[in-house]
Amino acid sequence: MRVSVIRKNIKFTPDSKRVVARYFINGDERTKQMVIRIMTLDDKQVLETLEQTLREFARRHRNISAIFLRHCEKIREVIENMQIDYDTLSLDRKMLIGSYCTMEYAIESAAIFNPSIIEDFDQTGLEAGEKRVIISFRATGEGHISSIVFRRGILDRDNNLQVMKIGHHIDKAEIIHKSFFNKERFLLKLSEMHTQDKYITQIMQDLPDEFEYAVLKNIVNTALNDPSIREERRMALNEIIWLAKSFYDLEFKHDSDITERVIFPISDSESRGIEDARFVRFTDDDGSSRVMATYTAYNGHTILPKLISTEDFYTFRVMPLHGAGAQNKNLALFPRKIKGKYAMLARIDGVNNYIMYSDRVTQWNTPILLQEPRYTWEFTQIGNCGSPLWTEEGWLVITHGVGTMRRYCIGASLLDLDDPSKEIGRLTEPLLSPLEDEREGYVPNVVYSCGAIIHNNSLILPYAVSDYSSTYAVVDMAELIDALKKSK
């Protein structure tokens, strides 16, 4: 049974004008030579060069002088190793050095895709039938490095979306790293990352049950300074530090608009990008709510599933997910507990959909096979397109399937409310397939979503168009549920 889909005439496209001031370094030796050249300038030359730089770039960034000082501080050790007294350097000279350690990065110059949508915390001042929403996107720039960006909008009674104006500056958050770790859980996650045991044992055996990050870092750095170190040991030691730096908090300034906040790769485990965040408004048993998202951190050779949570979109807590089920990509959290336990969808083997339950939102084990590819348009793999949606008839799961020519289509399934390991129905045909004008892009023949909501008895389904741009569609819920119930 084919379900009617209304595609809305709105498009989110990459904007190369949206830039962030990013730390830039060309290695210690070239940095030393750069500092030497700056030190030959007299105070007047320093001021003239700095003022010219500020004239050209200050309007493009909020408080760029503070960014320059922060980036200069990052190479303080390099400067001091040159027998230069860092503390006696003038503020202008530090800012100038920092400007040479800074580059602009266009965060969404290549693509803005894989959207998810949630209800905003603030629903005041709206007309009947309206809903304020926050949409997240995977933004991709040079080198295919991905980050998370946001838009805010209002859905009206006809499900038309009015998108709020975008802010002028991009604001990177202050980063606060975790200081203490539980040794048992830390070792377990290293094992799940397939870090070689013999190198883990050598580093971790003398650490107490609760250890400080600084102590771990000193031990690892001492081992890395061994000139005879083998490459496989170096990689294992780096992975230990990558994991430790994967726990952190992000704090954005309160004078930034949500469209100006970018969650940019911070830790080494994310150095190649933050992929496919699936945001969900989670309501706990006591009625309190927060926004959480699973996403995939990637450093070029290791995938690390992570969880991010916030109660206000100013402060975010980031941490890795643990357990045999916290593998691969495509994890999506249910919006509430089921029989007192957290529930999660996953595609741990890259092909099939699984479901897991846990007492802790960061610990996932014992995945249960939920869905296997059944129809030709999903023979390659089936996965979720975001967190399940509660309906009176069951949990609505928007899925994706991959068929011939690696074409991605969007489908839908209905799961039992009390026992979502039971599938009530699954559409035999795609809910959404790439139209002719949606087939061209960074990755052709793909429609994909990371999260939908229900509004005015309609499914509001944002989706990416061939990994380049994004739009959204509307589906009548009564028609969709009827089709799902008849499909079994």
CB neighbours of 368 closer than 8 A, spacing ≥ 6?
354, 355, 356, 421
Residue 268 pLDDT grade (very low, low, confident, very high; cuts 50, 70, 90): low
Give the pLDDT of residue 189. Answer: 80
Can you list the domains of the chain with their CATH numbers? 5-14+111-162+267-486 (2.115.10.20), 20-106 (no CATH), 178-246 (no CATH)
Give the pLDDT of residue 297. Answer: 84
Model pTM score: 0.89
Residue 64 CA to residue 60 CA, distance in Å, equals 8
Is residue 169 within 8 Å of residue 17, measured between CB atoms?
no
Residue identified by tokens 């944002």 is 462
**pLDDT tens digits for range 115-157:** 999 999 999 999 999 999 999 999 999 888 899 999 999 999 9
Question: Which range among 79-83, 240-244, 418-422 shows the weakest confidence by mean pLDDT?
Answer: 240-244
Nearest Cα residue to 177 out of 75, 249, 268: 249
Task: Using alpha carbons, list the distances in angstroms from residue 231 to 238, 240, 245, 267.
Answer: 11, 14, 21, 21
DSSP 41: S
CB neighbours of 222 closer than 8 A, spacing ≥ 6?
none
Give the pLDDT of residue 300. Answer: 65
Average pLDDT, the chain: 93
With the C-alpha atoms ordered 190, 192, 193, 197, is the resulting torsion angle positive or negative?
A: positive
Two tokens at 332? 């999506």
Residue identified by tokens 């959290």 is 333
Mean pLDDT of 101-120: 96
With the C-alpha atoms ordered 464, 246, 328, 311, is the resulting torsion angle positive or negative?
A: negative
Residue 273 pLDDT grade (very low, low, confident, very high; cuts 50, 70, 90): confident
**Sequential DSSP letters for 202-265:** HHHTTS-SEEEHHHHHHHHHHHHT-TT--HHHHHHHHHHHHHHTT-EEEE--TTS-GGGB-B--
Give the pLDDT of residue 102. Answer: 97
DSSP 167: P
Is residue 104 within 8 Å of residue 59, measured between CB atoms?
no
Within a 10 A sphere around the Cβ of 392, how many other Cβ atoms? 6
3-state secondary structure of 151: strand
Is residue 131 within 8 Å of residue 455, measured between CB atoms?
yes
**pLDDT tens digits for range 345-354:** 999 999 999 9
Give the pLDDT of residue 271. Answer: 66
Within a 10 A sphere around the Cβ of 350, how many other Cβ atoms? 12
Is residue 416 within 8 Å of residue 424, measured between CB atoms?
yes
Give the pLDDT of residue 83. Answer: 96
DSSP 392: T
Residue 213 CA to residue 240 CA, distance in Å, equals 11
Q: Alpha-carbon Rg of the chain, whole angstroms?
A: 24
189-218 per-residue burial string, b: 16 or more CB within 10 A, e: under 16: bbebbebeeebbeebbeebeeebebeebee
Q: What percent of the chain has pLDDT over 70?
A: 98
